[in-house]
């Protein structure tokens, strides 16, 4: 079985909380349903990969445990799947990364009301009462660490352009933290911040626009590793040599490999690995088998990835 590498996850996994009298029992046999989005791009491919790795490792280590992984392409499909997991598969716990927070809240709440233990991952529900536990990355640190690194790398002066993700609370948390941190460097000017939709093709177009409008760009914060690929392609096609840094985010293996190999543009990244899907399933399984509960909220810290620590975040077997 893979070990839990991050110290906070280790802490959460070892400080599970005893449930109330009505739920405090150790399961002789446990079936966990896992509901995740279909692998439509690199990040969700990583989510699906780590969910299936958890199934493989945990079932091998626990003969009384069964893990059922379901992938869905639409919110209605995911809602139907979790209903089937309860009615047909008789799950005792659900670990879900909702396709959409609002539309999945009521279906998940119905599952919880039937006595199923619910762990929600990454994208929260609109009503936290519909879940027992929540596991996610640190989005504020995601933005703050990128800004801190760029400020230092540019020695406090220069021009930056920003590519945002999708208009979501996750993106807002990241960008607000980035802006607060970058304000500390009075010589740095953020020329513009447009949405690249966490998509490499959209990011390519946004970066083309930036390169046309701005004759001097010193660094780019593309707040996602897929977007960073589109950014680098646009820079390469434009043959621009003024840009010294492209910082993405997510800890994708191709970005980490560039850092390890000493790439000229990609020297740092910020972790937000889909591996937390593996950790959330493992934590839920271990707690429920003991009749325990997870902390209500577990935040996996984001870490600045540089050449010095890149090997710790490189998972070559993962699609992301």
| Residues 88 and 111: beta-carbon distance below 8 Å | no
pLDDT above 90: residue 133 = yes
pLDDT of 216: 98
What does the pLDDT look like over 265-308, one tens digit per residue?
999 999 998 888 999 999 999 999 999 999 999 998 999 999 99
Q: What are phi and psi of 58, to 5 degrees?
A: -70, -40
DSSP state of 21: T
Least confident of 3-17, 54-68, 125-139, 247-261: 3-17
**For residue 152, what pLDDT is reported?**
97
Mean pLDDT of 190-194: 98
- What is the model's pLDDT at position 23? 45
Question: What is the phi-psi region of residue 251: left when phi exceeds 0, alpha when psi lies from -120 to 50, beta otherwise?
Answer: left
Rg (CA), the chain: 21
- The pLDDT of residue 123: 83
* Residues 59-115 pLDDT 10s: 999 999 999 999 999 999 999 999 999 999 999 999 999 988 889 999 999 999 999
């Amino acid at each position: 079985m893979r070990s839990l590498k991050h110290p906070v996850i280790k802490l959460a996994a070892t400080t599970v909380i005893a449930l109330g009298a009505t739920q405090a029992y150790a399961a002789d046999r446990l079936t966990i349903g896992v509901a995740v989005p279909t692998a439509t791009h690199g990040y969700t491919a990583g989510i699906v990969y780590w969910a299936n790795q958890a199934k493989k490792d945990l079932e091998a280590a626990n003969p009384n445990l069964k893990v059922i992984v379901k992938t869905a392409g639409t919110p209605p499909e995911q809602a139907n799947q979790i209903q089937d997991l309860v009615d047909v598969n008789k799950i005792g716990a659900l670990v879900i990364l909702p396709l959409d927070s609002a539309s999945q809240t009521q279906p998940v709440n119905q599952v919880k009301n039937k006595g199923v233990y619910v762990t929600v991952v990454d994208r929260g529900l609109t009503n936290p009462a519909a879940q027992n536990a929540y596991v996610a990355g640190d989005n504020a640190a995601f933005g703050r660490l990128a800004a801190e690194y760029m400020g230092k790398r540019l020695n406090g002066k220069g021009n930056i352009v920003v590519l945002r993700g999708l208009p979501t609370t996750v993106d807002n948390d990241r960008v607000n933290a980035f802006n607060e941190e970058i304000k500390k460097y009075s010589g740095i000017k953020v020329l513009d911040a447009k949405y690249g939709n966490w998509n490499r093709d959209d990011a390519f177009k946004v970066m083309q626009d930036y390169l046309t409008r701005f004759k001097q760009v010193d660094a780019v914060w593309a707040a996602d590793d897929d977007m960073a690929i589109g950014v680098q392609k646009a820079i390469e096609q434009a043959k621009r040599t003024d840009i010294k840094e492209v910082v993405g985010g997510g800890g994708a293996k191709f970005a980490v490999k560039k850092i390890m190999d000493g790439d000229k543009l990609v020297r740092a990244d910020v972790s937000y690995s889909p591996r937390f899907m593996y950790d959330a399933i493992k934590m839920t399984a271990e707690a429920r088998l003991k009749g325990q509960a997870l902390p209500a909220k577990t935040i996996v810290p984001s870490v600045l990835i540089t050449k010095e620590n890149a090997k710790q975040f490189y998972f070559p077997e993962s699609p992301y």
